[in-house]
Chain A
Amino acid sequence: MENLLDSWGLTVVTFSPLLGALVMFLLPKEKEYEHKVIALVTSLWVAFVGLMLLIWFDLDATERLQYVVDKSWIQAIHSRYVVGLDGISLPLVLLTVLIVPLCIVYSWNHFPEPKNPKTFLILILVLETGMIGTFVAQDMVLFFVFFEVVLLPMFFMIAVWGGPNRRYASLKFFLYTLFGSALMLVSFLSLFFLTGAESFVFSEIADNVVAHAVSRTAQLWIFGGMFLGFGIKVPMFPFHTWLPDAHTEAPTVGSVILAAVLLKLGTYGFVRIAIPLLPEAAVEWAPWIGLLAVIGIIYGAFCCLAQTDMKRLIAFSSVAHMGFVMLGISTLTDFGINAAIMGMVAHGLITGMLFFLAGSMKERYHTLEIKRLGGLLVQAPKMGWILGFCAMASLGLPGLAGFWGEFPAILSAYNPANGLPVETFRTFMVVAALGTVLAAGYLLWLLQRAAFGTPKEEFAEDPNIHDATKTEWIAWAPLLALILALGIYPNLVFRATDGAVDASLTPCLTIDVDQLSHEEIETTDCPEVYGLLDHGSDHHAVSKGS
């Protein structure tokens, strides 16, 4: 079993959905029930393999890539099929394999217009392959391919099953992200050629960046390209405008997958590729990333306050929450990046859940205009409670998952990595803390308008408005349980990420200058630490003297 997993586990988990999709492709469209069953069984099988991967994962060596497969793939361009799983990928892969079956269960009885379960489910499965592939790929070209594979199914999902403005939204989503990934590809290629590496495998490129000393300017430009590519996907302010449109128009399941997993491809890119490969450029860029992140937090919150549509409000709240994630990443500390990964998982669960809820409410009320809603707790008490629960989780209530993404990110901004401007980041910290207040504002406002009070007249007698159904419960219960479990015991994520994140950062960033003597600092090979020596030598002397 273990051997089989070692050599085949990741490949199976990545390509099983594609296989399922192929089988469905061959079946005629009319056999709807068979299609649903195949899709569900496939996704459950994938989830099962994912679980097996978790069970056999060596949690004491999270920094080591596990289940590695290294095969030659496209020799002409030196690209290899290298997949592996470490502590950073693990939570995200598990998140993906969890969300997809839930989405399939949720859409069991209510496929959005124009129905056609066959194509819809095939698209979901293809998406799953793309998403998992991106998280396990260890080769730049492979990563890029999976990163792009995700685009098309999502495009079709929005363009075919979306809301009234779907053409515009889907095209915008597609063009915007494609633009970003084009720049990203350019960065990848230039990195490959500048380092003169033998292959596109991450670890080799990283070694070569150090060995061949790519010029600082080149590093900065390359990081810039990656920044655009990943930043658009996250999305960071000011590249976020595709997100509200895509979310608003996408079918419920599309929104859920988009929020839960797709946005994480961008942040994952930063953590996996941009920062470990180009640490020096990262130090230069980090204050700007941090700045955009906190602007995003405040800006997203303000936009939320101006919204009249519930789904759009949730979409904008994603901008704010991903701001916290990016703030954690921009500190370049293992603390901050751990917080960011926690934030990704938490946001995936919480916002995914909120979109599920918005979808179900839309089905009942046929509108999501906030001023027409009200009294959900009267008509569908359980859904009202879930909305309250998710709003609390989303605003970062301790004891629920959202808090462990937000608070450590704020915490880490107080003390960013060596070489980063401390005062600037402390200012960011205060602004981000202000964001938590605004978050409480718009989420509670939504909760009050939608759940409290009495139902509006037009819906008061509507028999269509009923409490959560059985399929909805099956789809939601795991998410709700996980939000609570991660909130109470965040170690579920931190246990996996801690070691891996620490290993992915160069020691220069995290070395504790206060604990070193002067001579030791001079002998380290870290430009960041030298910077500290110049500015902070007095402070250093004082702290040593006491």
Chain B
Amino acid sequence: MIRFLAAVTSSGDSIPLGITDAGNWFLQNVWLIPLIPAMSFIGILFFGKRLPRGGSELGIAALAIAFLLSICTGFAWMDHRDNFHGEEISQALVSGEHGEHGEHGEHGEPSLAVVNTTTWFTTGGVEFSVGTLVDGPAVMMLFVVTLVSLLVHIYSTDYVAGDRRYTHFFAFLSLFSASMLLLVISENTLQLLVSWELVGLCSFALIGHWWEEKENSNAALKAFLTNRVGDMGLLIGVTILFFATGKLLPDTFGSFSIVTTNALASAGLLSHSTLLIAACCLMAAVMSKSGQFFLHTWLPDAMAGPTPVSALIHAATMVVAGVFMIARLYGVFFEGFSIGGSSINLMALIGGFTTLVGACLAFVQRDIKKVLAYSTISQLGYMVMALGVGAWTAAMFHLFTHAFFKACLFLGSGSVAHSVHSFDMKSDMGGLRKEMPQTFRTFIIGSIALAGLPPFAGFWSKDEILVGTGGWGIMGGTGGNGSYTFMLVMGMITAALTAAYMTRCVYLTFFGEFRGHGHPHESGKRITVPLWILAVLAIFAGFLNLPKGFQLVPKSLQERFGHYVEPVAGYFPQISHATPSWSLAIVSTIIVIAGVVFSWNYYFVKVENTSKETGESLTELPNGLTTRLALARMGHTLLVNKYYLDHLYTGIITRAVKEPIAELAYRSNQEILDRTVDTFGRSAVKIGQLNYFKIDQNVVDGFVNASGRISSESGEELRKIQSGKVQSYAAILFAAATILAGLLIVIV
């Protein structure tokens, strides 16, 4: 039987959710997809070492099955989206709701998410359920996660071959895949929270994979602790939504259900202030997980982990969990931050700021992985900004394309490092285009896609975000949710910066002369094949969502991605879509080309020429801007020090655990920021010690000791009576008897 589900509030209103519990077998049994990697985790953990290939074959098989299932689920969803029509009454309910807003035409047919739940446990009279929520974003994420994970598995069999913890590595990859897949199909916020923490655990374990070195375990700890800070926000935000939703529902005092929460928020039944507080709390979680400014500092450090891990976890999947969470609870964020119709809000601001901050930092890195890490931060900022301005589909699309080209770049950098045994671009790379042609070509493709030149994937998704800001009416992008001109400017600047730093990165790695030692060579098939698959996707993925306004292709091919991924349902807010325009696309392309030309001029022309003159392979001009201009030098120092943010965090944490900070000594301490931190950190320890040594050990404990002493001293006194002489005992006995007798006489 096909049922449509609606939430009935305690005041008797019925809010259509736009969900159903019926549908194709694949949509109903999507829980199998996380289950398979989970089984493989257990299998590898217990039997991995006894298998001929150390357990990697189990992981690959599991991910291959999961990938196939995801593909099937994807097709099932596309069919469901276009052809599923249930009972007419409920259908009317859903579309009627949308009809009221008069935007039926634009949003098209409602999409009915498939929700299946089962009770997990009951406490305090509330049923907690687990379940699957299958709709566009979930299906899209399933595809991305299983594909990238599968490719990374294959890549790793070569990359970490011979590692002493080969089996554990694959076990954790499986566990990670399972948790991430569980996260994307979460039906309720509790489930989301659980899987959210589990992916954090896997990230911790994999960053610290080579835990023998302190640096790596430090990075792992930093990642986990920074994420814990954000998780605090998640805990509180989820709690607030739980009770706020429950208040409106009959017979329960709380509900974790994502669709219900979203539907109530979108229907305007939850108070704005509650939603704002909840959204701010959840934003903290997004900032830590998705590396948004100012909780991003763990992400570059996380590069201490093996490169496949960086590609999978810290570029393509886990770090986008925050973005995905915003997309999932978009009703809450949309209403909470009043995204529709404002011109600035916290989310857009944080996202926009992060894109700039990350892009600037990418310029000064020597380590190729750190360039990519900061680039990831920057691109995540793009996505958050897009969500902040209401360009939901653009954000999801960028997430989708970014996963491919960034994974391609990361795996490419791993391929390079595999051959030169270092990540340092300045001292150990250069001129590798001849030795590593496959890696070079894929890396170039990835870079162009990242920079956003047409017709590569990054161009389409980036352009849609810029359009979605709805700013700058003359340039097109009209009809968005508000006029976020400021965000448009930030996005444009970042586009130029991205192009420039990727040019730098490509030059330093593949051009000039080889500066390292030994003889670099192309990597094996197990590394290059995944690279090529990702590169091909980086070229073509952008065509999935060709914009509407351009009239390049027939209508049936336009915005296919948006059509299948963006929900049109009661649990999703009514967002407006900006109209794309030629002018904006051309301007942004020109800006990107300007960035490339600028950087090209510096590296490919000036540096190259100077290198030839001096006869050595240079990485920068000896008399560059930074040596001539004091302002530029200061800017450079600020960037090299990562805005001193790490001082702030490491300062507190390491001080609090009483570690001498060798790192701190080597950096300048004149910043006010730093001094504040020191005082803060030191006083935290002081308080801890004062607390422990003075108050705990003296005052509180003192009372206890005093009472003990009193009883022991009185015992000492009483001891004297115990002379051991029979007669003195007898004397006491008779004396006591006499006194008692006397008392008896007096009383009686």
A binding-site residues for B, Cβ under 8 Å = 171-172, 175-176, 179, 238, 241-242, 299, 302-303, 305-306, 333-336, 338-339, 342, 375, 377-378, 392, 397-399, 403, 407-408, 410-412, 414-415, 429-430, 433-434, 436-437, 440-441, 444-445, 448, 451-454, 489-491, 494-495, 497-498, 501-502, 512, 514-515, 543, 546
A241 in contact with B235 given A306-B689, A453-B211 (CB within 8 Å)? no
CB distance from B220 to the nearest CB of A (A): 8
CB distance from A522 to the nearest CB of B (A): 20
Q: Are A412 and B124 in contact (CB under 8 A)?
A: yes
A/B interface sample: 14 pairs, CB < 8 A: A175-B707, A303-B692, A305-B656, A306-B685, A306-B692, A336-B124, A377-B211, A414-B240, A415-B243, A433-B235, A444-B225, A448-B217, A501-B124, A512-B253
CB distance from B725 to the nearest CB of A (A): 30
CB distance from A169 to the nearest CB of B (A): 11
Does B232 lie at the interface of the complex (its beta carbon under 8 Å from any beta carbon of A)? yes
A485 to B217, CA, bound (A): 29
Q: Are B229 and A334 in contact (CB under 8 A)?
A: no
Q: Are B711 and A175 in contact (CB under 8 A)?
A: yes
CB distance from B277 to the nearest CB of A (A): 10
Q: Are A305 and B688 in contact (CB under 8 A)?
A: yes
Which chain B residues numbered 685 to 709 have a C-beta less than 8 Å away from chain A?
A: 685, 687-689, 691-692, 696, 700-701, 704-705, 707-708
Q: Are A494 and B242 in contact (CB under 8 A)?
A: no
CB distance from A308 to the nearest CB of B (A): 9
A412 to B246, CA, bound (A): 13
A453 to B217, CA, bound (A): 8
A437 in contact with B124 given A305-B688, A306-B692 (CB within 8 Å)? no
Does B634 lie at the interface of the complex (its beta carbon under 8 Å from any beta carbon of A)? no
Q: Are A333 and B121 in contact (CB under 8 A)?
A: no
Residue of B with least CB distance to A341: B123
5 closest pairs, A vs B, by CB? A335-B124, A491-B121, A398-B194, A452-B211, A494-B123
CB distance from A415 to the nearest CB of B (A): 5
- From B239, B653, B705, contact of A414 by CB (8 A): B239
A495 to B124, CA, bound (A): 10
CB distance from A319 to the nearest CB of B (A): 10
A242 to B122, CA, bound (A): 37
Q: Are B217 and A452 in contact (CB under 8 A)?
A: yes
CB distance from A474 to the nearest CB of B (A): 18
Residues in B with CB closer than 8 Å to A445 are: 221, 657
CB distance from B506 to the nearest CB of A (A): 36
A489 to B118, CA, bound (A): 13
Residues in B with CB closer than 8 Å to A339 are: 123
A410 in contact with B707 given A303-B688, A306-B688, A452-B208 (CB within 8 Å)? no
Q: Are A334 and B212 in contact (CB under 8 A)?
A: no
Q: Range of interface residues on chain B?
A: 35 or more
Residues in A with CB closer than 8 Å to B213 are: 453
A299 to B213, CA, bound (A): 32
Residues in B with CB closer than 8 Å to A305 are: 656-657, 685, 688
A546 to B10, CA, bound (A): 9
Q: Are A408 and B221 in contact (CB under 8 A)?
A: no
B 190-202 binary contact with A (CB < 8 Å = 1; else 0)? 0001110110010
Q: Are B253 and A498 in contact (CB under 8 A)?
A: no
- From A172, A238, A433, contact of B708 by CB (8 A): A172
Does B126 lie at the interface of the complex (its beta carbon under 8 Å from any beta carbon of A)? yes
Q: Are A546 and B11 in contact (CB under 8 A)?
A: yes
A429 to B18, CA, bound (A): 34
Residues in B with CB closer than 8 Å to A412 are: 124
Residue of A with least CB distance to B193: A398
Q: Are B197 and A398 in contact (CB under 8 A)?
A: yes
Which chain B residues numbered 166 to 225 have a C-beta less than 8 Å away from chain A?
A: 193-195, 197-198, 201, 208, 211-214, 217-218, 221, 224-225
A sample of 5 more A-B contacts (CB under 8 A), given A303-B688, A415-B254, A498-B122, is: A241-B704, A302-B691, A399-B198, A436-B231, A514-B247
A175 to B715, CA, bound (A): 14
B 703-721 binary contact with A (CB < 8 Å = 1; else 0)? 0110110010000000000
A429 in contact with B696 given A305-B688, A494-B123 (CB within 8 Å)? no
Q: Are B212 and A495 in contact (CB under 8 A)?
A: no
Q: Are B231 and A242 in contact (CB under 8 A)?
A: no
Does B269 lie at the interface of the complex (its beta carbon under 8 Å from any beta carbon of A)? yes
Does B557 lie at the interface of the complex (its beta carbon under 8 Å from any beta carbon of A)? no
Residues in A with CB closer than 8 Å to B708 are: 171-172, 175
Q: Are A430 and B691 in contact (CB under 8 A)?
A: no
**Residue of B121, B208, B218 with most partner-chain A CB within 10 A:** B121
CB distance from B315 to the nearest CB of A (A): 24
CB distance from B210 to the nearest CB of A (A): 10
Residue of A with least CB distance to B11: A546
Residue of A with least CB distance to B197: A398
Q: Are A436 and B123 in contact (CB under 8 A)?
A: no
Q: Are A437 and B243 in contact (CB under 8 A)?
A: no
A440 to B225, CA, bound (A): 7
A408 to B125, CA, bound (A): 13
Residue of B with least CB distance to A305: B688
Q: Are B247 and A453 in contact (CB under 8 A)?
A: no
CB distance from A330 to the nearest CB of B (A): 15
Q: Are A444 and B224 in contact (CB under 8 A)?
A: yes
Residues in A with CB closer than 8 Å to B224 are: 440, 444
Does B228 lie at the interface of the complex (its beta carbon under 8 Å from any beta carbon of A)? yes
B 254-297 binary contact with A (CB < 8 Å = 1; else 0)? 10000000000000010000000000000000000000000000
Does B673 lie at the interface of the complex (its beta carbon under 8 Å from any beta carbon of A)? no
Residue of A with least CB distance to B701: A241
- From A175, A179, A238, A397, contact of B197 by CB (8 A): A397
Q: Are B120 and A437 in contact (CB under 8 A)?
A: no
Residue of A with least CB distance to B235: A433
A350 to B225, CA, bound (A): 21
A489 in contact with B121 given A175-B708, A299-B691, A377-B211 (CB within 8 Å)? yes
- From A342, A392, A546, contact of B201 by CB (8 A): A392
A34 to B322, CA, bound (A): 60
A392 to B225, CA, bound (A): 12
A302 to B231, CA, bound (A): 20
Does B161 lie at the interface of the complex (its beta carbon under 8 Å from any beta carbon of A)? no
Which chain B residues numbered 632 to 666 have a C-beta less than 8 Å away from chain A?
A: 653, 656-657
Residues in B with CB closer than 8 Å to A411 are: 239, 242, 254
Residues in A with CB closer than 8 Å to B194 are: 398-399, 403
Residues in B with CB closer than 8 Å to A333 are: 124
- From B214, B243, B250, B704, contact of A453 by CB (8 A): B214
A495 in contact with B201 given A172-B708, A241-B700 (CB within 8 Å)? no
Residues in A with CB closer than 8 Å to B269 are: 546
Q: Are B232 and A437 in contact (CB under 8 A)?
A: yes
- From B10, B120, B231, contact of A491 by CB (8 A): B120
Residues in B with CB closer than 8 Å to A489 are: 120-121
CB distance from A444 to the nearest CB of B (A): 5
A445 to B220, CA, bound (A): 11
A456 to B168, CA, bound (A): 24
Residues in B with CB closer than 8 Å to A414 are: 239-240, 242-243
A436 to B253, CA, bound (A): 25
Q: Are B120 and A302 in contact (CB under 8 A)?
A: no
A335 to B121, CA, bound (A): 12
**Residue of A238, A433, A502 with most partner-chain B CB within 10 A:** A433
Residues in B with CB closer than 8 Å to A501 are: 124
Residues in A with CB closer than 8 Å to B126 are: 335
Q: Are A408 and B688 in contact (CB under 8 A)?
A: no
Residue of B with least CB distance to A412: B124
Residues in B with CB closer than 8 Å to A433 are: 232, 235-236
Residue of A with least CB distance to B243: A415
Residues in A with CB closer than 8 Å to B254 are: 411, 415
A495 to B224, CA, bound (A): 33
Residue of A with least CB distance to B119: A491
CB distance from A425 to the nearest CB of B (A): 12
CB distance from A264 to the nearest CB of B (A): 18
CB distance from A230 to the nearest CB of B (A): 18
A175 in contact with B123 given A303-B692, A436-B232, A453-B217 (CB within 8 Å)? no
